[in-house]
Structure 1
Amino acid sequence: MGDSLKTYNVSVIIIGKNVSKTLFDCISSVKNAINFDPNINLSEIIYVDSNSSDNSIQIAQVNNVKIINIISTFTTASLGRFLGIRHAKYNKLLFIDGDMVLEKDWFSKTNAIIDTHLGVVGDRYEVLIKNDTIIKEIPHFYNYKNFQKASKIGGFIYFNNSQTPSANFSPFLREEEECDFYAKIRSTVSFYEVPYHGFQHLNRNLSGQRLLSYLQPYVKMGYLLSLFKSIKDGYFLNYSVIQKKYIKSILISLLAYALPIYLNFYSLILILLLLFSNNKSDIRGVIITAIAFPYKLITSIYFLIKYRNGIDLEYSFDSLQFKEKIML
């Protein structure tokens, strides 16, 4: 039987919080892509809402998609994906955010690939929006040029979990949750970059307060929580491969704070930066992370102590209410 006659069953998991301006376009694009591929047999769209204060839920209801409504005040993108996997029917899972628009031909281009390679990520068309006006477009944000193994992954993921049915996201992570997920499964599944667009990202989050976010206690510490979990659960080797930038930052920070009197100290730091950094932006990120490392280490340890008995979770799905504790 040729690929043209083979059929696929797909679960699309959309996550969002206060995405009323983009959610309709996101859902419509997913439906169009499903209808465009004649080889898709069965499909479902699940929208996971993280306690929105706008009318995102109502938009999802009008569009007749399944809804997981997180009622708890503790919400993360990772928790949304965690619940989406838990309630999805099918092995082929597309993760997309509510501020993304799926390319119409995504499934038709990748469904044959996903059976063999299990994990696929596509290029991103970035659209920067301020005050409802497009101020800039970046057509090839990731600039994928070849079909090759992905070193890292982001929020847009097409994944066949037939080989790793128990794999899931770490729901307490606020950042780096995708790379943490990748580290968990990398020994079994490698993601591949494909050299064509997967989605448009309608980016309205242009606050420019990235540096100030490091001052917030529970922000920018996902890489450390993921590091602790990788050591605890036995996937540190994969973590160290995927998160080389953070390993480098930790090493530089330890050297900077512990060995400032070492004669060749600054030369060593410079050599490390040049060896492991690809561009100026990468170097800047490594330096900022290294400077903030002691503070983030303290807040990470405090977070682990505070939630050592788990995090209360309450959500609804398919007219049912769920209450449980999710463990770190």
Structure 2
Amino acid sequence: MGEPLKMYNVSVIIIGKNVSKTLYECISSIKTAISFDSYINLSEIIYVDSNSLDDSIKIAQANNVKIINIISSFTTASLGRFLGIRHAKYNKLLFIDGDMVLEKDWFSKTNTLIDTHLGIVGDRYEILIKNDTIIKEIPHFYNYTNFQKAPKIGGFIYFNNSQTPSANFSPFLREEEECDFYAKIRSTVSFYEVPYHGFKHLNRNLSGQRLLSYLQPYVKMGYLLSLFKSIKEGYFLNYSVIQKKYIKSILISLLTYTLPTYPNFYSLIIILLLTFSNQKSDIRGVIITSIAFPYKLITSIYFLIKYRNGIDLEYSFDSLQFKEKIML
């Protein structure tokens, strides 16, 4: 027989920006899941808000959760998680977005796994919403069918930082921050997929809005910045394992834009594409990435130059004001 379950404590970190339509349901689902697991002793819910213009903060206040309010103009999802970890009380950390609804039995199903495996990700029930109407549901978005090591992770993360207490997100990344975080700790912690749902995603950010995000400065350039970060801080090998698709995408992009000078590279690009993946979606992603590569490269370089002296951060937490400079 295994060891009996022990009581444990958990911190839940919600990040959000203009999530007033979903935040109440998100918070309520977390409280329900905490109550459902009788082995949870102490808990806290922290909502990190990124300059919302709606009633997100008022909703969080009305539901008695701790609030970190980012006041400075620079905001990222990664910065939200960075501040959440910094102010969380407990080692067991659940990261969730404000448009996600936690499954009632998530904690009760994972309360033994989180001590043994330290990092867990669950399947996603995707709900596409347009004009407040559900237009499509995808019950198994990730299609996790077995308990196995996760090759990469997304925004829903359950993490025990007892072995890596200093680990944190890179706050300036606007994209791919989760895999960058995983690369930092991969030598100590492996994340595991579990074959059951962790959350429902109330997705109002449909394809048209995602395409518009490419036109905003600095937004869709994250993998180049995270690549730079991994090289600078010495975790490139772990990063290259987790982000091997992106590494190949970068290689293909570089080869593509040297074709006018070296036309023989055509054959090498074809070989790379053929060996890249059996999935058409992966090949399509590489092609799209290659087309956008010059823009991503230019904006990444400009970003590094603009913020070479750091980013001024101002935020409030528990009625206290904090000001500091975050270095790249």
How far apart, CA to CA, are the structure 1 residues paired with 2:260 and 2:218? 28
CA shift in 2, pair 1:129/1:3, >3 Å: farther
Q: 1:246: how far off?
A: 1.1
How far apart, CA to CA, are the structure 1 residues paired with 2:256 and 2:315? 45
Q: 1:111: how far off?
A: 1.3
> Which residue does 1:200 correspond to in 2?
200
Q: 1:91: how far off?
A: 0.2
- Kept in 2, the 8 Å contact 1:4–1:39? The answer is no
Q: 1:28: how far off?
A: 0.3
CA shift in 2, pair 1:213/1:266, >3 Å: farther
Cα offsets for 1:45-102 (capped at 9, x unmatched): 0000111000000100110011101111111100000000000000000000000000
CA shift in 2, pair 1:210/1:63, >3 Å: closer
Cα offsets for 1:125-151 (capped at 9, x unmatched): 000011111110000000000000001
CA shift in 2, pair 1:209/1:130, >3 Å: closer
How far apart, CA to CA, are the structure 1 residues paired with 2:45 and 2:280? 40
How far apart, CA to CA, are the structure 2 residues paired with 1:121 and 1:305? 35
> Which residue does 2:107 correspond to in 1?
107
Q: 1:174: how far off?
A: 0.7
Q: 1:4: how far off?
A: 4.7
Q: 1:261: how far off?
A: 5.9
Task: Compute the TM-score of the two structures, normalised by the length of structure 2.
Answer: 0.97
How far apart, CA to CA, are the structure 1 residues paired with 2:210 and 2:150? 25
CA shift in 2, pair 1:110/1:315, >3 Å: same
Q: 1:215: how far off?
A: 4.0
Which runs of 5 or more residues in structure 2 are unaligned?
Answer: none
Cα offsets for 1:257-288 (capped at 9, x unmatched): 11346565333222211212241211111111
Q: 1:254: how far off?
A: 1.4
How far apart, CA to CA, are the structure 2 residues paired with 1:58 and 1:196? 33
Instruction: State the number of aligned residues.
Output: 328
Which has the larger displacement, 87-96 or 219-228? 219-228
Which has the larger displacement, 270-279 or 121-130? 270-279
Which has the larger displacement, 241-250 or 32-41? 241-250
Q: 1:207: how far off?
A: 4.6
- Kept in 2, the 8 Å contact 1:170–1:177? The answer is yes
Which has the larger displacement, 264-273 or 167-176? 264-273
In structure 2, the residue corresponding to 1:263 is in which secondary structure? coil
Q: 1:253: how far off?
A: 1.3
Structural RMSD (CA): 1.5
How far apart, CA to CA, are the structure 2 residues paired with 1:15 and 1:267? 45
In structure 1, the residue corresponding to 2:196 is in which secondary structure? strand
Cα offsets for 1:94-122 (capped at 9, x unmatched): 00000000000000011100101000000
How far apart, CA to CA, are the structure 2 residues paired with 1:16 and 1:55? 11
- Kept in 2, the 8 Å contact 1:72–1:312? The answer is yes
CA shift in 2, pair 1:22/1:209, >3 Å: closer
How far apart, CA to CA, are the structure 1 residues paired with 2:101 and 2:3? 26
- Kept in 2, the 8 Å contact 1:17–1:51? The answer is yes
How far apart, CA to CA, are the structure 1 residues paired with 2:4 and 2:108? 10
- Kept in 1, the 8 Å contact 2:259–2:266? The answer is no
Q: 1:216: how far off?
A: 3.4
CA shift in 2, pair 1:5/1:246, >3 Å: closer
Sequence identity percentage: 91
How far apart, CA to CA, are the structure 1 residues paired with 2:224 and 2:278? 22
- Kept in 1, the 8 Å contact 2:8–2:40? The answer is yes
- Kept in 2, the 8 Å contact 1:214–1:292? The answer is no
CA shift in 2, pair 1:54/1:210, >3 Å: closer
Q: 1:244: how far off?
A: 1.0
How far apart, CA to CA, are the structure 2 residues paired with 1:213 and 1:46? 27
Q: 1:294: how far off?
A: 2.4
Cα offsets for 1:218-254 (capped at 9, x unmatched): 1211000001110000000011111111111111111
CA shift in 2, pair 1:133/1:8, >3 Å: same
Cα offsets for 1:163-184 (capped at 9, x unmatched): 0000000011111000110011
How far apart, CA to CA, are the structure 2 residues paired with 1:69 and 1:46? 10
CA shift in 2, pair 1:16/1:3, >3 Å: farther
How far apart, CA to CA, are the structure 2 residues paired with 1:267 and 1:157? 40
- Kept in 2, the 8 Å contact 1:150–1:192? The answer is yes
- Kept in 1, the 8 Å contact 2:5–2:112? The answer is no
| Stretches of 4+ aligned residues off by more than 6 angstroms | none
How far apart, CA to CA, are the structure 1 residues paired with 2:263 and 2:169? 44
Which runs of 5 or more residues in structure 1 are unaligned?
Answer: none
Which has the larger displacement, 231-240 or 265-274? 265-274
- Kept in 2, the 8 Å contact 1:47–1:65? The answer is yes
In structure 1, the residue corresponding to 2:219 is in which secondary structure? coil
